[in-house]
Structure 1
């Protein structure tokens, strides 16, 4: 039997974390001081390696989340589900809490899960986070609490073995089903971000620093995008995004099910910085 992960990664304030009653914290940990600032309210969030420091706080938080999600998905030992004899279909929740120190190091890692082996694995993977640029409040580095909820689903993935997502060029060396799908989404997002007409976007949103749009489309049996729909704040932007997706190069391979090519739905939100 093989296993896979469902990962839900959200940043949250220390207060919101304590309200969920998912982990034990001391009174000292709950007291936010000038040396301890929530990720939600800090003036300058910690910066994950590879994120553009020139982006705004919200974009940096999103980049942080995405980098952390990929790190966990790549390194978490999914074979633990079988080793622990967890019943097929079980969804196990793991709560991970840590702090980002004033030096940008990950400290005070804690994890709660139904199995100590999963707690240990969550802590091991969290220790793989590279050193960060620390968060700043009032011009001084501060300790920043961070909470990561992980859902670990044990499943006999026979359906995933018989089904393959569309493969984008540049993702073909990945063999994990979910990572392949995530890689394809990231590649399409990158394509959209570099291909949008920013002069048009500036005219449409002259007072905004960012704008968002939601795209939905199929990768058809030939690997091309079709049945494209876009939700945007301006009709002209929706038209621009549709035209960009129509010009998108073919995927290396379409999705497959039981050895036959299929149409595969993709849908996600994109943020561009103006």
Structure 2
């Protein structure tokens, strides 16, 4: 794939970069079908579809000795470095960013310079910033629009907020969250192994309308909000769990930290909620998302 991956000339002229999430199925005949993609621009999406559609016919996957359809997903990042683009690591811990939950030293939010727990202070300051700048769009209120907007962004190695991605029930709510997060101040960048790095951070923002009994939907229980679907597989001789983290409405949740309990393995879900992480049967995966109780899943074959 690396040999055929190239940003189209027009995309290069426009300076287009970003991640395209692609999902497809290898059917029972070993052919690539049902290609779905989402990215920052149609040119990049078209290039990914061109690449994936040129994959050769394969031997189909088997279950109980019967050929079956196998879904597969992968994030592909287009990054202008003069001539090429590269594919991101499925593990999520690559040279482009480090998950907030795994970075050695988190970014320093203004006002957290002298505290002992900069991680907790960062989370508190983010929540304060959202609360201070939050405005429920009037049009959304009139139309009864509410729900959770999942926001994912990186704090670059220069301390700037970048690569903001949003997913919610309506664009009105997504636009409000974008407005809030684009007003975040410049920070001291995070560090890993003593070097400044980009840090991926995710946070849910809830929009809840008042209900008749005087209670808000914010007071509803959040137990079992995180739903996990997936299966153990073997790739290149290694055991991995490939799956998706979703909410109760089966919508993928980006930016969920995924840890293998008792080990250093970690991953982060992509914009579709997809993830892949090395793990052995009998180990436990823990899913962490800001504002929700963690969820643990026992891995079995």
Q: TM-score normalised by the shorter chain: which range applies? A: 0.3 to 0.5
Q: TM-score, normalised by structure 1?
A: 0.43
The answer to which structure, 1 or 2, has the higher relative contact order (CA under 8 A, 6+ apart) is: 1
Higher helix proportion, which one? 1
